[in-house]
Structure 1
Amino acid sequence: MKTFKYSFLLILVFLISCEDVLDIKPIDRIAENVIWDDPVMVQAYVTNLYTRFPYDAFNQGGWYCWTDEGTTSTGNSSIVTLGSINRNNEAAGYWNYTYIRDCNIFLERIASAEIDQNIKKQLEGEVRFIRAYAYFEKMKRYGGVPLVDVVIDPFKPIDDKYLVRAKEEEIANFIDRECTVAVALLSDGTTPRGKINKWTALALQARANLWAASIAKFSTVELNGIVGIPSANANIFYKKASDAANAVIISGKYSLYNAIPSNKEDNFRNIFVTESNDELIFVRPYDGINFGHNWDAMMAPNQWSVRGGMGNPTLDFILRFENADGSVDAPVFGPNALYDEGRGPFKNKDPRLFATVFFEGDAWGNGKVQTYEGLDPSINPTPSAIIRNPMLNHEGVRTSGLDSRSQTKDDYSTNSGFLIKKYVENVIFGIPENQS
């Protein structure tokens, strides 16, 4: 009996002494209560939101295939028409609310966080901007969406208002209010490249309100306001957009890029490839370490990239550009309409067209873009005399261009005769497949 009692006491003492050993903290995650009182952890939370920011222009370079703006060199002229995208398979991922929920969690917890008040204000302003931007991306694609601005407990009854789509105008007004709050919270000084400041929020406020105004003026209200904004409210949104944009302009913090005033084409193209110019209000810094893309490698003409020529604008897209004087006309095409360069039929167009699209014969790198599919060696040009054999030359000139489909024999060349130039770096030597 004594032996049993002693054994029991030893076990009890052992269990008590092991309590601290068994009560260990997980090493593969951070407890939530640890985050909100540590300024480093709070900043890390916001940095994670920046990393997942809903801007994916380069990595989703095929957006133009969702419309009539362009096709890919593989022939996907319209992803929607082909049935690759439908209501049950929405590849863009903007309907998902995980990102919104993470913003809501931050905004709910930051109020009681034991950190410096100035840091708290700045970070709250950044996240309010981020949430507003996320809703703007939703509104652009779907109109009205469920407006969830609180953290929903999935284990409790959910208020019906969070389960139904709000009117598009309600979403537009929410974005405007969030930007107003963000402007009041954010610093108006210089912030590190890629960080949100007061002027970033004003720029979003201008853009989102201009979008809403355009929807009101040029669209119609459907589904009881879930899609569309009443036309009577167009001027209200225009005024908000104008006020926000004017605040940025008169601040003197930014100015239009005009480094090459004598060449409007090159000036426009360089806005997007010149780092740290005065027109950039908010950018994602692609440094090849934290963020990267392969836009140049995928879009450059085949002569300069082993996987180039993937983006092919349509003729419809090109014709949408007005002439430089604001007029509109239709180019002349046909066997009797002869031009000495690819941009010939469009020579009167706005220079921004030629900064956006590659045409046959454009100077680039250490040569010229060659998308032509045949050569007419006769003295009097006639369509029936065109030679398209990629193996033949005529007086030292290839009968089909180096960037043409006849030469590449694969999907890395244009289907439409045109290539995307916007955002592509002008390099003398080729772009490696895994670089940009």
Structure 2
Amino acid sequence: MKKISKISIVFVLTLFVFSCEDLLDKTQLDLIGEDKVWNDESLIDAYMADIYSSAEFHMGTQQGNTSRRRHVVLDAGGEARARDGVGAGLINGSMSESGADGDIDYWDWENVRRINVAIQELSNTESTLETSYRETSLGEAYFIRAWVYFSMVKRYGGLPIIKEPQNLTLSLEELKVARSTEEETYDFIGEDCDKAEVLLEGKVQPWGKATNWAALALKSRAMLYAGSIGEFGKVKLNGLVGVSNADKYWDLSLAASQKIIQNGPFQLFDNAVGGTHADKIESYTTMTLTDNPITNTELIFSERFNGAGGKGSSYDLYYHPNVDGNTGWGAVSQVYLETAEMFEYADGSAGTLDRNTLVPGQRHNVSDLFGNKDPRFYASIAIQGTDFGGAPVYFHEGTYVGGVLTLGGTNNGLPASGDSRNSVNSALLNIKGIVREEAPDYNQGTNDWTVFRLGEIYLNYAEAKLALGDDGDGLTKLNAIRTRAGLPLVATLDWPTLKQERTVELIFENHRYWDLRRWRDAEEQLTDVANGGAATFTGLKWLYDADVDKYEITVTNGNNRPERTPNERRFDEKHYYFPIGSGRIADNSVLIENPDY
């Protein structure tokens, strides 16, 4: 691996400006060699808290971000339409050499420098710090650096590898650093995960801080990405993008997953004691809403939010359905019908609907379409009449009374129409992990964001086993996920089965877009008919017929309702990597742009 100790000055000259809290105002923590900083645990804790926050473990929950980046990535992956139509450059394929869409870009060399300062200072074995504290903090720094590099490599491919703080007295030319290959970058991430695992093993950490298990989970995911890119992708630009040795990374991912499964203190969450369909729905819903690692045995690592007076999220506020007269900010993530159809019925039959019956004049009960689905469906998606915190969610846009469509009054206990925000595009809503009680105010949300959980690790294990030639153990792990959900076992582990199960288990958890990219499936599944593809992105429109107590349910263009701004979709081969961008290359001339930009 190349040992690179320099980077373009544009990555490092912006020194960190600390918050106005008294503790942080006393000392600039990124000035190397100040004993009063790096021998003071309270100052180091403040420094580490900042690099944790800047690592952005969950897109779009930082204060002031209003969760925009979060629902953009769900729209980009074809899971749910962002009601406000944001992220168009990412979705319609218009990214160019000017740079990636700002709603999903991540190029954080300032934080890399701060992390490298921490690693350098905490590696000092002559420090007056207590050894266990110093090693724990060092392990956390390696973990965060691995995460930051992973967040960038999955966007851009090979990166400049920076292992130590640069000397800013060097010339501009001396500070410029070229990109390493994508394989070298993944190797670097794996090495940092290994260092973090060793340093953190046996350390008792507060919830929300890195552990040896979190380091293994990151390695499991990162090496899985590298393996699949090697399996399905192409090597270009002399390896700056692409991976040539897929099996190496499948093996590394498998080994990390196996350690967690065999040795970790985790279990798949399942409190469905009765085992009925209703029990399974309640259990899985509870899993998505429980952020306490003591009661939710599946959790490995989460980004913490504590609301008022601290770090809060706006996720619940923006995703909460509008119910019971509440017409606030909610219902921003509107689920495509194709996403709903990915969920099987509880008997294992395919979840696709007969769209020939979803036409004007036909009448249906809600159960005709969505009765007895995979229990995970009801924990993840709101449909007409879903009980949400004791109030029903309504999507219908009018009521037929005596054959005449009306928008006023009440019929059979239902209002003539639901809140219009609920049905702007699709009339199905993403509710996974959304608090059922009243949504908290802006930046006051307290539900943690799960970064790693055991369900993902089981699926990582199954995928690596499939790629390497499953001996039956991969199928066992996949079926354990299905059993927990209350679905029948499958007899064979193949790629369609694996991809289907991973999609529904991890739906809306910031996986689908990245999975389609690493599997090299995005060209097919994220390009619509208008752009020469075959993918469709539809929604539903509900009208209530009070005379028969049923619904007229029709299919709409969920990607572009007539009254909305067009949101055509195009994903070309070049989009498997984001453009570095002409501005960054102008600042650092040794950076090479990604193919076809």
TM-score greater than 0.5 by the shorter chain: yes
Is the 8 Å Cα contact of residues 119 and 141 (structure 2) preserved in structure 1?
Answer: yes
> 2:398 is matched with which residue: 364, 371, 374?
374
Is the 8 Å Cα contact of residues 168 and 229 (structure 1) preserved in structure 2?
Answer: yes
Structure of higher RCO (CA pairs closer than 8 Å, 6+ residues apart): 2
Is the 8 Å Cα contact of residues 80 and 430 (structure 2) preserved in structure 1?
Answer: no
Is the 8 Å Cα contact of residues 302 and 413 (structure 1) preserved in structure 2?
Answer: no
* Structure 2 CA distance for partners of 1:244 and 1:77, relative to 1, 3 Å: closer
* Structure 2 CA distance for partners of 1:66 and 1:386, relative to 1, 3 Å: farther
The Cα offsets for residues 212-271 of structure 1, whole Å up to 9 and x where unpaired, read as: 2222223333333222222xx222212211211121222241111112353333322222
> Aligned partners of 2:44, 2:86: CA distance in 1, in Å?
44
Partner of 1:6: none
> Aligned partners of 1:144, 1:268: CA distance in 2, in Å?
38
The Cα offsets for residues 332-389 of structure 1, whole Å up to 9 and x where unpaired, read as: 1233764311x643446533232211111212222211101232345xxxxxx462x4
Tell me how far 1:413 sits from its aligned partner.
5.0
Letter of the structure 1 residue corresponding to residue 70 of structure 2: G
> 1:303 is matched with which residue: 287, 298, 323?
323
Tell me how far 1:165 sits from its aligned partner.
2.4
> Aligned partners of 1:350, 1:218: CA distance in 2, in Å?
30
> Aligned partners of 1:37, 1:400: CA distance in 2, in Å?
63
Partner of 2:313: 293
Partner of 1:264: 280
* Structure 2 CA distance for partners of 1:348 and 1:337, relative to 1, 3 Å: farther
Task: Determine if the alignment matches structure 1 residue 194 to structure 2 residue 219.
Answer: no
> Aligned partners of 1:220, 1:325: CA distance in 2, in Å?
39
> 1:355 is matched with which residue: 379, 389, 396?
379
Is the 8 Å Cα contact of residues 203 and 244 (structure 1) preserved in structure 2?
Answer: yes
* Structure 2 CA distance for partners of 1:81 and 1:126, relative to 1, 3 Å: closer
Deviates more, 1:146-155 or 1:124-133: 146-155
Deviates more, 1:155-164 or 1:274-283: 155-164
Q: Kindly report which structure 2 residues correspond to 1:317-332, keeping only aligned pairs within 5 A, or say none.
A: 317-324=339-346, 328=350, 330-332=352-354
Partner of 2:70: 61
Letter of the structure 2 residue corresponding to residue 286 of structure 1: F
Specify the SS of the correspondent of 2:289.
Answer: coil
> Aligned partners of 1:386, 1:432: CA distance in 2, in Å?
39
> Aligned partners of 1:61, 1:166: CA distance in 2, in Å?
29
Task: Determine if the alignment matches structure 1 residue 213 to structure 2 residue 238.
Answer: no
Partner of 1:278: 297
Partner of 2:41: 39
> 2:338 is matched with which residue: 293, 304, 316?
316
Partner of 1:22: none
> 2:82 is matched with which residue: 72, 80, 85?
72
Tell me how far 1:280 sits from its aligned partner.
1.2
> Aligned partners of 1:365, 1:311: CA distance in 2, in Å?
18
* Structure 2 CA distance for partners of 1:215 and 1:338, relative to 1, 3 Å: farther
Task: Determine if the alignment matches structure 1 residue 253 to structure 2 residue 265.
Answer: yes
> Aligned partners of 2:441, 2:220: CA distance in 1, in Å?
38
Specify the SS of the correspondent of 2:352.
Answer: coil
Partner of 1:8: none
* Structure 2 CA distance for partners of 1:215 and 1:350, relative to 1, 3 Å: farther
Partner of 1:431: 439
Deviates more, 1:213-222 or 1:85-94: 85-94
Is the 8 Å Cα contact of residues 122 and 135 (structure 2) preserved in structure 1?
Answer: no
Task: Determine if the alignment matches structure 1 residue 120 to structure 2 residue 134.
Answer: yes
> Aligned partners of 1:145, 1:265: CA distance in 2, in Å?
43
Tell me how far 1:325 sits from its aligned partner.
5.7
* Structure 2 CA distance for partners of 1:158 and 1:251, relative to 1, 3 Å: farther
Is the 8 Å Cα contact of residues 79 and 85 (structure 1) preserved in structure 2?
Answer: yes
Please, which runs of 5 or more residues in structure 1 have no aligned partner? 1-25, 379-384, 406-410
Partner of 2:518: none
Please, which runs of 5 or more residues in structure 2 have no aligned partner? 1-23, 62-66, 446-597
Tell me how far 1:312 sits from its aligned partner.
0.8
Tell me how far 1:160 sits from its aligned partner.
7.6
Task: Determine if the alignment matches structure 1 residue 175 to structure 2 residue 197.
Answer: no
Deviates more, 1:137-146 or 1:156-165: 156-165
The Cα offsets for residues 79-101 of structure 1, whole Å up to 9 and x where unpaired, read as: 52468976435344511210111
Q: Kindly report which structure 2 residues correspond to 1:151-170, keeping only aligned pairs within 5 A, or say none.
A: 151-157=165-171, 163-170=177-184
Partner of 1:340: 365
* Structure 2 CA distance for partners of 1:358 and 1:236, relative to 1, 3 Å: same
The Cα offsets for residues 17-70 of structure 1, whole Å up to 9 and x where unpaired, read as: xxxxxxxxx975447313123333333322222232322343332222334222
Tell me how far 1:390 sits from its aligned partner.
2.5
> Aligned partners of 1:372, 1:347: CA distance in 2, in Å?
18
Normalising by the residue count of structure 2, what TM-score does the alignment of the two structures yield? 0.60
> Aligned partners of 1:417, 1:50: CA distance in 2, in Å?
37
Deviates more, 1:368-377 or 1:332-341: 332-341
Task: Determine if the alignment matches structure 1 residue 397 to structure 2 residue 414.
Answer: yes
Specify the SS of the correspondent of 1:303.
Answer: coil
Is the 8 Å Cα contact of residues 71 and 77 (structure 1) preserved in structure 2?
Answer: no
